[in-house]
Structure 1
Amino acid sequence: MPDQPGDVWDRRVASGLAFLRRRLSGDYQVDEFGFDPELTESVFHPMLRLLYRDWFRTEVTGLEHVPADGAGLVVGNHSGTVALDALILSAALHDQHPAHRYLRLLGADLVFRMPVVSEIARKTGGTVACNPDAERLLRSGEVVGVFPEGFKGVGKLYSDRYKLQRFGRGGFVSAALRTGTPIVPVAIVGGEEIYPMLADIKPLARLLKLPYFPVTPTFPWLGPLGMVPLPSKWLIEFCPPIPTAHLTDSADDPLVVFNLADQVRETIQQTLYSLLERRPDPFGP
């Protein structure tokens, strides 16, 4: 006999009450970094699912390149004024990967100095972007996500959209080399259009101790409404992994690190160009 509408709602209510009891009693697990899988799946991913699936109409390809088990280092381009791309990538990977892998994001120090944001980042699996934490996660078999452009990528002007910024010193490459972890480049198209950054008011950014203060077509003109992201069409493509197991003795060789970082950067840049050709209309279906 098929479920009746009332049965479905009864199960949802019972599940919700059970979830609340576990939270209030402390009967749930977190790891050494503060990651809370139950809270992530029950609260944060459903909210992000509305964004990536319904608002951004995200298409994901190349998921077979993300390991079904064991460690992987996912390296992506960063953009969008507000770093929604990292969160969207994390939720889409978990939902659509056959093994439902969690993406353990590495974030800037600023993220973990902000009271509420820091707690959310920890609960959803994030940690500070430093080599010791990255290597611990990789050695424990996690899929780790890093965005080497950092604030240079997120805070660039719309006129520089989809032009990768400098990758820094290649710390992510060293972490992959020391642990023999494959590097999976990922290209994300769509993030540049959600808050097109027309200008950066640098004096105000310095006053507020922010990396930039954006001016977009809707912010600050529309106040809080200016924080609603524009409904751009997103394409995410995971590229074939770059093996590193044969280079573990070269983790401290600057030339090897630079060349590998440059290979990852070029792979992402060329994939972005390819995805942009597939998506001629930023706000199309």
Structure 2
Amino acid sequence: MSEGAKVIPLHGARGPSTDSVAARTQAASRERHPSGIRPEDEAAPVVAAPPPPSRLDVVRGSLADSIVAVADFVRCRMSGEYEVDEFGYDEHFTENVWLPALRPLFDQWFRVEVHGIENIPDTGGALVVSNHAGVVPIDGLMASVAVHDRHPLHRPLRMLAADFAFELPVVADLARRAGHTLACMSDAERLLSAGEVVAVFPEGFKGIGKPFSERYKLQRFGRGGFVSAAMRTGTPIVPCSIVGSEEIYPKIGELAPLARLLGLPYFPVTPLFPHFGPLGLVPLPSKWHIEFGTPIVTDGYDQAAADDPMELFEVTDHVRETIQQTLYKLLARRRNVFLG
């Protein structure tokens, strides 16, 4: 063994006593920090994460945004800094008044979850075809919010509505300003040719007025006029399935004589209406899911197909079956009507 080697004893002989080493270590520690702990050894202070905003805070924020939007709307109205297209669509009104008024229903009341928004194209026309339900057609309004707010380019959804909607004094003006028009072939083709995203609800009043016992069972889709419009313009058809709308006003009956007297398609009876008066008009807060399916292309059809009843029936039936199967899928995944 070399003389300069340092021997570390395994047993027996020891170096400086343990007590003296500990004493020197503690003294050095006290010199470094009064507490005996080096500052770098101290744990970083734990900062509590801010609590998530309450429902009341969210509502207050939405209300504040709405007030600001309305103030901006009034300013632009007074200065004339807005435009209206040939259908009466007022983009400034829609962005600052109409959509902000619908968002509390969309975000807080129905808590809508949107799936497949990427199936709405970024450019060019598209025809969104959806199921229709709920006694009052709120589903169309929620679909318009979904497309505008969730699409990366915030595209407006131009709905084709029944004639009845444009015969009501206040409703007609709001519908026109929000960009909607009559459910007729000429208007549909003009909008699609202009590159707009257009929505149609082929079930019509048969869908929204059906009894609760037939919920989520699609009614007849008509003769395929919407398919013909898509074929003529070469625009894709995007199937849309909405779950949650059937439960907002469960229709358990109707008063046909009163409906005829008032000139309405039907006068519904629900568990809360008309027994509870105005309170019965409040929609139940069901949990909604809106899914936009894979587009069905139509640009491969020739112009003759747009007038061929068999071709129209085949495509119409394909669209209807796609929506129906998606409804079944969404219903199977849903755990609770109100919790989702």
CA distance in 1, matches of 2:264, 2:154: 35
Give the aligned partner of residue 47 of structure 2.
none
TM-score where L is the length of structure 1 = 0.94
Question: 1:50 & 1:14 partners in 2: Cα distance?
Answer: 15
CA separation of 1:157/1:12 partners in 2, compared to 1, >3 Å: closer, same or farther?
Answer: closer
- Tell whether the 8 Å contact from 1:187 to 1:268 is kept in structure 2 after alignment: yes
Q: Out of 147, 160, 163, which is 2:217 matched to?
A: 163
Alignment-derived partner of residue 267 in structure 1: 322
Once the two structures are TM-superposed, the CA of residue 47 in structure 1 deviates from its matched residue by 1.7
Counterpart-to-counterpart distance in 1, 2:218 and 2:66: 44
Q: CA deviation at 1:21?
A: 2.3
User: Partners in 1 of 2:79 and 2:120 — Cα distance?
Assistant: 36
For residue 122 of structure 1, what is the aligned residue in structure 2? 176
**Matched residue, 1:20:** 74
- Whole-angstrom distance in 2 between the partners of 1:87 and 1:110: 16
Q: Deviation of residue 52 (structure 1)? A: 1.2
Asked if 1:54 corresponds to 2:108, the answer is yes
1:85 has 2:139 as partner: yes
State the Cα distance separating 1:267 from its structure 2 match: 0.2
Change in CA separation of 1:197 and 1:13 when aligned onto 2, cut-off 3 Å: closer
Residues 111-165 of structure 1 show CA distances to partners (whole Å, capped at 9, x for unaligned) of 0011100000000010000000000000000000000000000000000000000
Q: Is the 8 A contact 2:73 2:97 kept in 1?
A: no
Secondary structure, counterpart of 1:98 in structure 2: coil
Residue 23 of structure 2 aligns with which residue? none
Contact 1:233/1:283 (<8 A) preserved: yes
Structure 2: gaps (5+ residues)? 1-63
Match of 2:167 among 113, 128, 133: 113
- The CA distance in 2 between the partners of 1:86 and 1:77, in whole Å, is 9
Unaligned runs of 5+ in 1: 1-9
SS in 1 for 2:83: coil
Q: Conserved in 1, the CA contact under 8 Å of 2:69 and 2:97?
A: no
Deviation of residue 197 (structure 1)?
0.4
**Aligned-residue offset at 1:248:** 3.4
Residue 38 of structure 1 deviates from its aligned partner by: 1.0
Q: Is the 8 A contact 2:129 2:202 kept in 1?
A: yes
**How far apart are 1:209 and its partner, in Å?**
1.2
Equivalence map 1:95-244=2 (5 Å): 95-244=149-298
Distance 1:147 1:14, change over 3 A: closer
The match for 1:30 among 74, 84, 88 is 84
Q: Please state how far the C-alpha of 1:26 moved relative to its aligned partner.
A: 3.0
User: Contact (CA 8 Å) 2:127, 2:198: kept in 1 or not?
Assistant: yes
Q: 1:248 and 1:57, CA in 2 relative to 1: closer, same or farther beyond 3 A?
A: same
Which SS does the other structure have where 2:129 is aligned? strand
* 1:135/1:179 contact within 8 Å kept: yes
Say if 1:200 and 1:212, in contact at 8 Å, map to a contact too.
yes
Per mean C-alpha deviation after superposition, the further-off stretch among 149-158 and 195-204 is 195-204
Secondary structure at the aligned position of 1:251 is classed as helix
Report the structure number with the largest CA radius of gyration: 2
Per-residue deviation, residues 210-236 of structure 1 (Å, max 9, x unmatched): 111100011111111111100001011
Identify which range, 248-257 or 261-270, moves more after superposition.
248-257
Distance 1:15 1:77, change over 3 A: closer
TM-score by length of 2: 0.79
CA shift digits 1:179-208 (9 cap, x unpaired)? 001000000000000000000211211121
* Whole-angstrom distance in 1 between the partners of 2:237 and 2:249: 29
The AA in structure 1 aligned to 2:166 is: F
Q: What's the Cα RMSD here?
A: 1.7
DSSP 3-state at the match of 2:114: strand
| Cα separation, 2, equivalents of 1:138 and 1:106 | 11
Contact map agreement 2:240 2:290 (CA 8 A) in 1: yes
Secondary structure, aligned partner of 2:238 = strand
1:247 has 2:301 as partner: yes
Q: Paired residue for 2:41?
A: none
Counterpart-to-counterpart distance in 2, 1:15 and 1:150: 33
Alpha-carbon distance in structure 2 between the residues aligned to 1:269 and 1:162 = 8
- How big is the shift at 1:12? 8.9
Amino acid at match of 1:270: Q
- The answer as to 2:332 corresponding to 1:277 is yes
Give the counterpart letter for 1:246 in structure 2: G
Q: In 2, distance between residues paired with 1:284 and 1:139?
A: 41
Shift, 1:27, TM fit = 2.6
